Amino acid sequence: MSEMTMTENGVNVSRRRLLLGATTAMGAVGAAGVAVPFLGSWNPSAKARAAGAPAKADISKLEEGQQMIVEWRGKPVWVVKRSAESLAALKTIDDRLSDPNSDMPQQPEYIPHTAARSVRDDVVVLVGICTHLGCSPTYMPEVGPQPFDDQWVGGFFCPCHGSRFDLSGRVYAGSPAPKNLVIPPHFYEGDSSILVVGLNPEEKS
């Protein structure tokens, strides 16, 4: 009876089950090995992001006065939603700025040379790196006198060397920074709730 349990038509049943189990396990490992690279291809690798792969961000819940930071090419990209009051204030400080009309090439051609300096007036997209020596300025949206500016209407202040930028990234005259903050290529998808950083509008898929 014991012999009948161990063999079937001359084949060792226990050995066959062991081999079958091992083959199944190897098959599962193989499938997992295929799945990982495939899933990885759905998201840009760190190397691809560093090389300039576009970054996407859902800004639908961004409220007035809030700042979101998106990483692109290893750099921080600021996304700030501005209020109507903030936009109005931007039009009153041209005489205090080094390049109020954004004449220096720090932005894509499709960005208007207006005080808003943006595709959407209410949302500004800026590379968060000071044009002086590469520090990252601090977002300071509060309106009111500051130790560095007694007529502050909100913007960005670089604590490294004191450069000041308004809420459109335009540099104040007298700042160490020589140029306005850079605006990266970008566009909006669908109802403008999805921001794509790193591609121009004509490069939409």
SS3 32: helix
pLDDT score for 39:
27
Structure pTM?
A: 0.74
pLDDT of residue 190: 83
Q: Among all chains, which residue has been given the structure tokens 């205090």? A: 96
Cα separations (Å) of 2 from 10, 14, 19, 29, 77?
Answer: 14, 12, 21, 35, 73
DSSP 140-165: E---S-BTTBTT--SEEE-TTT--EE
Q: What is the pLDDT of residues 7-57, one digit of tens each?
A: 444 444 444 444 334 333 333 333 332 322 222 223 455 555 555 689 999
Cβ contact 125:195 at 8 Å: yes
CATH class of 47-203: mainly beta
- Residue pair 113/168 in contact (Cβ under 8 Å)? The answer is no
Give residue limits of the domains in the chain: 2-40, 47-203
CA dihedral of 159, 164, 169, 174, whole degrees rounded to 10: -140
User: Which residues of the chain, if any, have pLDDT below 70?
Assistant: 1-52, 205
What is the three-class DSSP state of 38? helix
pLDDT of residue 205: 66
Residue among 174, 154, 27 nearest 97 (CA): 174
- What pLDDT is stored for residue 72 in this prediction? 94
Q: Give 98's contacts (C-beta < 8 A, 6+ positions apart).
A: 170, 171, 172, 173, 175, 178, 179, 180
